[in-house]
Structure 1
Amino acid sequence: MVAALAVTQTIGYGVLYYAFSVFLTPMTRDLRAGGTQVAAALTLAVATTALCAPFAGRWLDARGGRGLMTAGSVLGTLAVLGWSQVHTLLQLYGVFVAIGVASAMVLYEPAFAVIMAWFDGPAYGRGRANALLAVTIVAGFASAVFLPLSGLLVELYGWRQALVVLGLGYGLAAIPLHALVLRGPAHQAAEATATTRGDLVRSAVRGRPFWLLAAAFTAHNGAVATIAVLLVTYLIHLGHPPVFAATVAGLLGVLSVTGRVVTTGLRRRWAAAPVAAGVFAVQGAGTLLMPVVAGSAAGAIGCVLLFGIGFGVGTITLPHLLSERYGTTAYASLSGRIALFAVADKAAAPLAAVALAQAAGYGWVMGAVAAACAVAALALLAYHRL
């Protein structure tokens, strides 16, 4: 089951999220629209995912992941095929609303909920951590695989046929794996009632620890999304060649895998919250140094290494902290509520950063990202003391 989720997450992120950047230029040309207008489709999809996350979470806690993730795979496949046929911006936006809904049903949040339910109970903590690590390590290579693959398909067949190939490939892999391989909890002694889950969620959201987690991972998501979107542009702005900028930015994917492995190892000796807080603080330091030293090749690489080590740490730390404090009975519902804020910030932060860069310069953007990392680190330290 873990292997199946590793495959479907890699293909899902590759097709439903990362491939968009490859199609942006040819779509802009064919739809006769501005680049910002076309790029807004992906922002709309991410915002839709955020809005759907709490509903998906409640469904997952009540009924498990098989039905939801299978239906989401079908919807995702149809949406990508529909994407290949759009001729107006309105059609594009409609398709990406569907992709946003599908993403809430099939990507990390539901996959993690399935893993949490399967590895239920304190005796399975290490198995749960290893399962999360395995899925995120494999899926961490989604961009490295699907960006060049999508580019090759566009070059060979054009962007519309490339989307047909990617959509069918996603459906052929994800639909049967989600339908046939996913299973319900293996170790739960008794099925929790909706009332029990509701009471647990209401109790959690009235407490300070939950909102400290929400603040930490919302701030961190915004920081990571901003760097992911603007790093290449910023390095070019500093005077680096485009090829160098793209190559250095590509280190983020590799470093996200490294950071997850290192953090999982450190958690076996120290508590998860201060470990993640330390990593977030290192990211903030790397961002603050960018305007000072990133003008040189060595300085740029060093800053990206500092930021990249925490690029994927939030992804595996939040599930651990939620299950550690609240158990797995209402994990998906609680995760969905945090995702409502964290994923929304992922959509909004890059747009705000672009506006800030145009108004005040990239130095202020790097300062804002560093401040977000500091907020995330301090919130986790406060959480750990409770």
Structure 2
Amino acid sequence: MNLAVDATAPGTGGGGRFSHGWRIVAALAVTQTIGYGVLYYAFSVFLVPMSRDLRASGTQVAAALTLAVLTTALCAPLAGRWLDARGGRGLMTAGSVLGTAALLAWSRVESLPQLYAVFLAVGVASAMVLYEPAFAVIVTWFDSRRRADALLAVTIVAGFASSIFLPLTGLLVEWYGWRQALVILAVIYGVFAIPLHALIVRRPKTATTKPTRRADLVRAAVRARPFWFLVAAFTAHGGAVAVIGVLLVTYLIHLGHSPVFAATVAGLLGVLSVTGRLVTTGLRRRWAAAPVAAAVFAVQGLGALLLPVVGESAAGAVGCVLLFGIGFGVGTITLPYLVAERYGTAAYASLSGRIAMFSVADKAVAPLAAMALAQAVGYGWVMGAVALACVAAAFALVAYDRL
């Protein structure tokens, strides 16, 4: 059963290359790149100097980021309802202000309780400004023909967030110390994100859906099996990707590779995430999105399964990372496409927020569970669990496609 009620007027986003929809895409490409760079990826660079200054263990400090991700997950449904009712301008502008303030407060923390309080704010801000709200804005501006291209454009640019901000943050910490580096990153984020969200983001001039009708759409969706197949697929896949993202370097070193080799190979994931998005979007022009993503997820499962078997050789390690990396960013662009395709745009953000509550939470919890599993029974079992999660995600998408 297809519940689609599309609030996007015919031709919206298709009014030419320089339509306002594409200006929004350009603005969000910038804000997502900087947002992920400073609100998420930069944390790993600050981990060691923060631990030293706060006189805390790395685990205690890292817990702050886990807290932020869980907070983002809990806030996702509320942010989704706001976006469906009022659009993205107010929410994303306020989130940019909150994110900037949180970064400045982070630069002044003197204890773990203060750090955790700051990262509660970072988590709330992330729910207001990162991919889920950005995608909700985009799907309301573009019809089904242009939507995939618009999502791809944003994620290709934002896919380089780690490549830009990890080295940049490292240089800032080396030159100015971690506290002053945070102030500089806060200024960069605020200068770009606040005005771009406030001045560029807005709702298309289309008929709005009444709240009661939108609530009916959400209730009908969550009572049917397709919605829960989406939840299962992208929760399982998101957890698998998070585990590889966190543990790959450690596992490659465990297999006998040098730290430099391990870091270099792991660095391929960022480039491959962009490649995978391009390939998947191209394949989607000929085949349905769900089976294409399912095939990619299955290939990832094969890569994870083979890594303990052939990963001790350099060629084997690179080959397995290539297999897994090709799908590293595929879930990011496939989920919004599938939700808008089946359910339309009228309640897109509400439904996306409900899915994110599960998938984002799993991204926070799965690496911790994987580390515990590795300590208990070894990394080989972790890779087996990652492979199983990818295959489960693939089967869930196949089942979704058949309903």
CA apart distance, 1:318: 0.5
Indicate the residue corresponding to 2:156 in structure 1: 137
Indicate the residue corresponding to 1:38 in structure 2: 61
CA apart distance, 1:127: 1.3
- 2:82 equivalent to 1:82: no
Indicate the SS of the match to 2:286.
coil
Q: 5+ unaligned residues in a row in structure 1: which ranges? A: none
- 2:316 equivalent to 1:299: yes
Per the normalisation by structure 2, the TM-score is 0.94
Count of residue pairs brought into register by the alignment: 380
- Distance in 2 between the 1:260 and 1:196 partners? 34
Amino acid at match of 2:256: G
- Distance in 2 between the 1:348 and 1:3 partners? 33
- Distance in 2 between the 1:126 and 1:263 partners? 15
Indicate the residue corresponding to 2:223 in structure 1: 206
Indicate the SS of the match to 1:72.
helix
Indicate the residue corresponding to 1:116 in structure 2: 139
- Distance in 1 between the 2:204 and 2:85 partners? 12
- Distance in 2 between the 1:129 and 1:269 partners? 13
Alignment partner for residue 169 of structure 2, among 134, 137, 150?
A: 150
Counterparts in 2 of 1:344-355, with a 5 A limit?
344-355=361-372
CA apart distance, 1:138: 0.0
Indicate the residue corresponding to 2:334 in structure 1: 317
CA apart distance, 1:126: 2.2
Q: 5+ unaligned residues in a row in structure 2: which ranges? A: 1-23
Indicate the residue corresponding to 2:4 in structure 1: none
- Distance in 2 between the 1:114 and 1:353 partners? 34
- Distance in 1 between the 2:320 and 2:261 partners? 14
Indicate the residue corresponding to 1:127 in structure 2: 146
Amino acid at match of 2:96: S
Indicate the residue corresponding to 1:25 in structure 2: 48
Q: Deviations over 1:288-315 (max 9, x none)?
A: 0000001111111000000000000000
- Distance in 1 between the 2:65 and 2:240 partners? 18
- Distance in 1 between the 2:287 and 2:182 partners? 45
- Distance in 1 between the 2:208 and 2:112 partners? 46
Q: CA RMSD in A?
A: 0.5
Indicate the residue corresponding to 1:222 in structure 2: 239
Indicate the residue corresponding to 1:336 in structure 2: 353
- Distance in 1 between the 2:137 and 2:312 partners? 45
Amino acid at match of 1:130: D
Runs of 4+ in 1 over 4 A off after TM superposition: none
Q: Deviations over 1:54-84 (max 9, x none)?
A: 0000000000000000000000000000000
Q: Deviations over 1:217-257 (max 9, x none)?
A: 00000000000000000000011000110010000000000
- 2:34 equivalent to 1:11: yes
Indicate the SS of the match to 1:268.
coil
- Distance in 1 between the 2:313 and 2:204 partners? 52
Indicate the residue corresponding to 2:71 in structure 1: 48
Q: Deviations over 1:183-229 (max 9, x none)?
A: 1024x3x2101101100000000000000000000000000000000
- Distance in 2 between the 1:127 and 1:194 partners? 27
Indicate the SS of the match to 1:310.
coil
CA apart distance, 1:321: 0.6
